[in-house]
A = this chain, B = another copy of it.
Amino acid sequence: MEEELTTRDRIVNAATILFQTKGYHATGLNEILRKSNAPKGSLYYYFPNGKEQLALETINQTKIFIEKTIRERLDIIQDPSESIKNSIEEMADNLNVDEDEKLSFRSTKKVSINLIAMETVTSSESLRIACESAFKTWQNVYCQKLIVGGFERKRAEELSLVIQTMIEGAIIMSLTMKSDKPLIAVANQIPHIVTK
């Protein structure tokens, strides 16, 4: 399936999955290369600055991918509250126990950067900033939806921050507890907090 991709793409895809599920520091370059059938020389050819540059690329690709995904989901329903609730429920659907009894997301690619975010707050300012930018980008998608739906800018900003925050918390809780309950609970809360 991934055999038709370029070496570079295969490396980035493997790195994305591993960094997001195992973590930045727990993932070795050798593991990434094994998984992507690439030699070590290629990695340093495409990413001269090594592991950190590779991680930066995975964060930025994930930022764009998730932004697009959220936007598409919010476009389905006109009402802001209902559409946001619906998009969170879809996240819960993507969370399941796979055959290895390990909880993960069905679409193995581009899932959540909050593990990388927490890991890099104290160790890499450039990666931290990339994660911050991703969070702000996603928040802004909710914010725009609210503004188009008639909410005042100030109110929309506050609400979208709370929504983005709840989602990140629900991802941690759902993964740790191997249950979609936290995500569902947050989705159900949306209509109560999204009010003018």
- Residues of A whose CB lies within 8 Å of any CB of B are 21-23, 25-26, 102-104, 114-115, 117-119, 121-123, 128, 131-132, 135-136, 158, 161-162, 164-170, 172-173, 175-177, 181-182, 185-186, 188-189, 192-193, 195
14 A–B contacts from the bound complex (CB under 8 Å): A23-B23, A25-B26, A115-B119, A117-B172, A136-B177, A162-B189, A165-B170, A165-B173, A166-B169, A168-B172, A169-B172, A172-B172, A189-B193, A193-B193
**Contact partners of A136 in chain B: CB under 8 A:** 177
Give Cα A119–Cα B117 distance, bound, in whole angstroms.
Answer: 12
B25, B117, B121, B175: the one within 8 Å of A121 (CB): B175
Indicate if the CB atoms of B176 and A161 lie closer than 8 Å. no
Q: How far is the CB of A115 from chain B (nearest CB, A)?
A: 4
Which chain B residue has the least Cβ–Cβ distance from A192? B193
**Contact partners of A177 in chain B: CB under 8 A:** 132, 135-136
**Contact partners of A176 in chain B: CB under 8 A:** 117-118, 121, 128, 131-132, 135
**Contact partners of A172 in chain B: CB under 8 A:** 114, 117-118, 168-169, 172
Q: How far is the CB of A55 from chain B (nearest CB, A)?
A: 13
Q: From known contacts A102-B122, A193-B192, infer whether A185 and B169 are also in contact, taking CB-CB under 8 Å.
A: no
Indicate if the CB atoms of A118 and B118 lie closer than 8 Å. yes
Indicate if the CB atoms of A165 and B193 lie closer than 8 Å. no
Q: How far is the CB of A189 from chain B (nearest CB, A)?
A: 5
**Contact partners of A131 in chain B: CB under 8 A:** 176
Q: From known contacts A23-B119, A118-B114, A193-B192, infer whether A185 and B161 are also in contact, taking CB-CB under 8 Å.
A: yes
Q: From known contacts A23-B25, A119-B23, infer whether A173 and B168 are also in contact, taking CB-CB under 8 Å.
A: yes
**Contact partners of A192 in chain B: CB under 8 A:** 192-193, 195
Give Cα A150–Cα B118 distance, bound, in whole angstroms.
Answer: 37
